[in-house]
A and B are shown apart, each in its own frame.
Chain A
Amino acid sequence: QSVLTQPPSVSGAPGQTVTISCTGDTTNIGTGYDVHWYQQLPGTAPKLLISSDNDRPSGVPDRFSGSKSGTSASLAISGLQTEDEAYYYCQSYDNSVRGAVFGGGTNLTVL
């Protein structure tokens, strides 16, 4: 059972926009701790996609954006492309764990 809750799967057609939610509570996202997002392609290590709620590392397309409100955060992917098919994980800091916590991951399928 992950500390942060994500939908197991989402899907969309090429060119569409999808949103992946990440729900926490008052010991993590709700306290204002930053939310970060990672993309994991099959058989590879996760790659940092969004840091500090909505900062894109160099090289990440602006089709990817993040937002946060209350105890939840979201990752939006616009202009879906087939290469976006991957697992996406949210992550934050939790003050009861006193460390990093992750969501269970969301499998994005591009139809």
Chain B
Amino acid sequence: QLQRWGAGLLKPSETLSLTCAVYGGSFSTYYWTWIRQAPGKGLEWIGEINHSGSTNYNPSLKSRVSISLDTSKNQFSLKLSSVTDADTAVYFCARGFHWHFDVWGPGTLVPVSS
């Protein structure tokens, strides 16, 4: 089970910060992933981190994205800097295994507006 929390409305140029907590199951077997969905649009993979801290990011976002984890709390976090209107989306945390995502958090809408 995944539960997330983080900031709501952001202004352009601010930094988006979200955290996802993992309840139950092994933290070490999987890749912990962030995926987003702009309003009325499809899904976009943002990036992932594994238990040892190895990360992979979508090249289109790589310069602005950072994913970290806190193994002591079974949590992982997303930071996306210099946000614009185009970053307005529902952000999902998910559990990745062999490049598919079998458990998803409920998603949080992060609006960006001046």
Residues in A whose Cβ lies below 8 Å from that of B96: 100
B-side residues, CB < 8 A to A, are 33, 35, 41-45, 47-48, 56-59, 92, 96, 98-102, 104-107
CA A64 to CA B105, docked complex, whole Å: 23
Across the interface, do A105 and B98 meet the contact criterion of CB distance under 8 Å?
no
**Interface pairs (19), CB distance under 8 Å:** A2-B42, A33-B99, A45-B92, A45-B105, A46-B43, A51-B98, A91-B43, A91-B100, A92-B99, A97-B45, A97-B59, A99-B45, A99-B48, A99-B56, A99-B58, A100-B96, A102-B43, A103-B42, A104-B41
Min CB distance B111 to A, Å, is 16
Partner of A99 from B47, B98, B100 at Cβ < 8 Å? B47
A-side residues, CB < 8 A to B, are 2, 33-34, 36, 38, 44-48, 51-52, 57, 89, 91-93, 97-105
